[in-house]
Amino acid sequence: MLLTEAHLETPQAFGAAFILGVLVHIFVFRHGEWDLWTVKLIKAWASYEVTVSLFLTQLYSFSVWQALSVTSKWFASFATGITISLLAYRAFFHRLNRFPGPFLARLSAFYPTYLAVDEEHMYLEVQKLHEKYGDIVRIGPTEISIATPSSFRVIHATASPVTKSPFYGISHPWTNLLAERRKRQHANRRKAWDRAFTTKALKDYEHRVLKYTKLLTDRIDDMKGRPFNVSLWVNFYTFDIMGDLAFGKSFNMLENGVEHDFFIESHQTQGFMGAFRRLIWFFPLVAAVPILNNPYLKFQAFIRNQVETRRKNQPQEPDVFTYILEDYDALEKPTEQDYNNLCGDAHLIVIAGSDTTSSSTTCLLHHLALHPDVLAKLRTEIDDYKSTHEESDLISLGKLQYLQACIDESLRLYPVVPSGLPRMTPPKGMDIDGVYIPGDTIVHNPSYTMYRDERCFEKPNEFIPERWTTRPELIKDASVYAPFSTGRGVCAGKQLGLMEMRYVLMDILSRYDIAFAPGTNPQAFIDGLRDCYTLELPKLDMVFTPRAEVKVEG
């Protein structure tokens, strides 16, 4: 009997496709990670459309449009089965349903994405959810936020069974050290980074940090007391340093005062990543679609070019990339993935070492302008230091207790990663604070929320550096405080970032009086902070006036 479209468009046919979709969800998509399969699944769908349509045209004399109509309706029924099964499972049967949270958070990662995109204050949204629902809140289909103080060490300790979440795969196939989810491979690659940040290595970088510190203060001098955008220029400072230490040359933004294309692309990429970081499946799609992927390809091409140029031109003095490159060159037969990892690490050196240090420094200057008593006390310590040291060095500078206390307090109030680092529980699950967390659950310790928790800090919303020095009673539980992370994930470049902050703060505060520029609203700066995984800053205009009344030797 000759088949027609009517024979293949019966309720039975569509019902079979629908049931198949339900079964595929239950037995396939509910297991394992599918976030990076977006392009492969689209190709599989396209192959299905072409293959089955050709079969119908050849075997049953369908026209191309008739065949495509039938196969598209079959697929729509199949996809509907997957979707309804997925939503029903998440709404009523999911393993995380016993945890409180907004109902919409159960259904889709679009809910937390909406919260993240709406005003880009995800860390504040998470804090509100904890205030409403308690210490453990479900903020996504497979994601919970845990704010109990004792949970931090359980999740982030070196011996913790958790792994990094699928979020770290969004830059695939460029897998930098931070994105390496496999513990053994991470430990092996971490060795080169640890060599790059020994005390000896830091001393090799010190004169370069001093060079760019002087360039920054030269730019401040050029402004002669006029409004100076601290957010932008301190970011120029950190980017120029890390460009030197990664690629052997600066981006020259401090000298030119012009944003480098790489600087612009990096911030745009960071903003995009921060907004859509829970829609992991979206990133492979953007990377694969022509026109949409043009900025991404341009960005990658720049980094590859810098890596190749750096490999051909060894610097006279070692930089951070020297140690990463040593490990790569030691490979007998480096694979394409090894090279992708090398490029990813080059990118990581610049990004991880620039935006984080810049935001921390700028936030502290903002606090100091708001608290003249703290500023005066810090200046006294810095002036005393300069009067007894003809030349500064990273060892002695690291012993300035009140300076470090100010840095610690600023990082507590405005942590670099305010929403916390996403981790995934082991397949068998784990107990956290006596609560069983099912396997393959993404868990966060929300830094901003926990650092402002009265169970951990007295007067948690106040800027009081003395809590780290002479008033330890203001700290109830210091175990939650790890602005550079802890365990195997502790920031490799922590000491370099601190060295940059100490030098630039010492130089600025010993030479200038600081104040907000006329017309600047200090609260507008706080309101404009953006949670892009790391903290992104709005404009902050300040005025720097030479300290004519203070004369410091050295």
Please, what's the b/e burial string for 477-498 (b: 16 or more CB within 10 A of its CB; e: otherwise)? eeebbbbbbbeebebbbebbbb
Dihedral, 413, 414, 416, 417 alpha carbons, nearest 10: 90
Q: Could you tell me which residues are beta bridge partners of residue 143?
A: 140, 442
What is the dihedral sign for C-alpha 55, 56, 61, 62? negative
Burial of 540 (0-12, 13-18, 19+ CB in 10 A): buried
CA–CA separation, 102 and 138 (whole Å): 7
Tokens of 1: 């009997």
Query: Are the CB atoms for 421 and 490 separated by under 8 Å?
Result: no
pLDDT for position 553: 43
Tokens of 233: 């220029």
pLDDT for position 390: 85
CA–CA separation, 418 and 477 (whole Å): 18
Dihedral, 29, 34, 38, 43 alpha carbons, nearest 10: -60
CA–CA separation, 372 and 384 (whole Å): 18
Q: What are phi and psi for residue 300, nearest 5 degrees?
A: -65, -40
pLDDT for position 89: 98
DSSP letter at 457 equals B
Query: Are the CB atoms for 168 and 181 separated by under 8 Å?
Result: yes
Task: Name the residue among 208, 206, 316, 323 with its Cα closest to residue 254.
Answer: 208
One pLDDT digit (tens) per residue for the chain, 554 residues: 455 556 788 889 999 999 999 999 999 999 999 999 999 999 999 999 999 999 888 888 788 988 899 999 999 999 999 999 999 999 999 999 999 999 999 999 999 999 999 889 999 999 999 999 999 999 999 999 999 999 999 999 999 999 999 999 999 999 999 999 999 999 999 999 999 999 999 999 999 999 999 999 999 999 988 999 999 999 999 999 999 999 999 999 999 999 999 999 999 988 898 899 999 999 999 999 988 888 888 889 999 999 999 999 888 899 999 999 999 999 999 999 999 999 999 999 998 889 889 999 999 999 999 999 999 999 999 999 999 998 889 999 999 999 999 999 999 999 999 999 999 999 999 999 999 999 999 999 999 999 999 999 999 999 999 999 999 999 999 999 999 999 888 999 999 999 999 999 999 999 999 999 999 999 999 999 999 999 999 999 999 999 875 544 43
- Contacts with 192 (C-beta within 8 Å, 6 or more apart), sequence order: 323, 324, 326, 327
- Measuring CA to CA, how many Å separate 168 from each of 14, 31, 129, 133? 38, 19, 24, 28
pLDDT for position 10: 87
Pairing label, strands 163-164, 534-536: unpaired
Could you tell me how many helices (H) and strands (E) the chain has, helices first?
23, 12
Binding site for heme: which residues? Answer: 491
pLDDT for position 469: 97
Helices (H), 165-229: 183-196, 199-223
pLDDT for position 5: 59
CA–CA separation, 270 and 502 (whole Å): 26
CA–CA separation, 486 and 484 (whole Å): 7
The residue type of 6 is A
Query: Are the CB atoms for 384 and 400 separated by under 8 Å?
Result: no
Query: Are the CB atoms for 446 and 123 separated by under 8 Å?
Result: yes
Tokens of 147: 């704010």
pLDDT for position 8: 81
CA atoms within 13 A on the CB side of 177: 25
Query: Are the CB atoms for 80 and 118 separated by under 8 Å?
Result: no
- Measuring CA to CA, how many Å separate 458 from each of 41, 466, 473, 477? 52, 12, 8, 10
CA–CA separation, 23 and 216 (whole Å): 62
Question: Is the bond leading into 290 cis (omega within 30 degrees of zero)?
Answer: no
Tokens of 199: 């005390």
- Measuring CA to CA, how many Å separate 472 from each of 371, 401, 403, 457? 20, 13, 16, 10
Indicate the domain borders of the chain.
5-93, 103-147, 163-546
Binding site: which residues? Answer: 491
Q: Could you tell me which residues are beta bridge partners of residue 546?
A: 512
CA–CA separation, 152 and 445 (whole Å): 6
CATH of 163-546, one of 2.40.128.50, 3.40.50.2000, 1.10.630.10, 3.30.465.10: 1.10.630.10
pLDDT for position 352: 86
CA–CA separation, 217 and 212 (whole Å): 9
Query: Are the CB atoms for 342 and 324 separated by under 8 Å?
Result: yes
CA–CA separation, 259 and 251 (whole Å): 9
- CA-based angle 225:227:229, to the nearest 5? 125
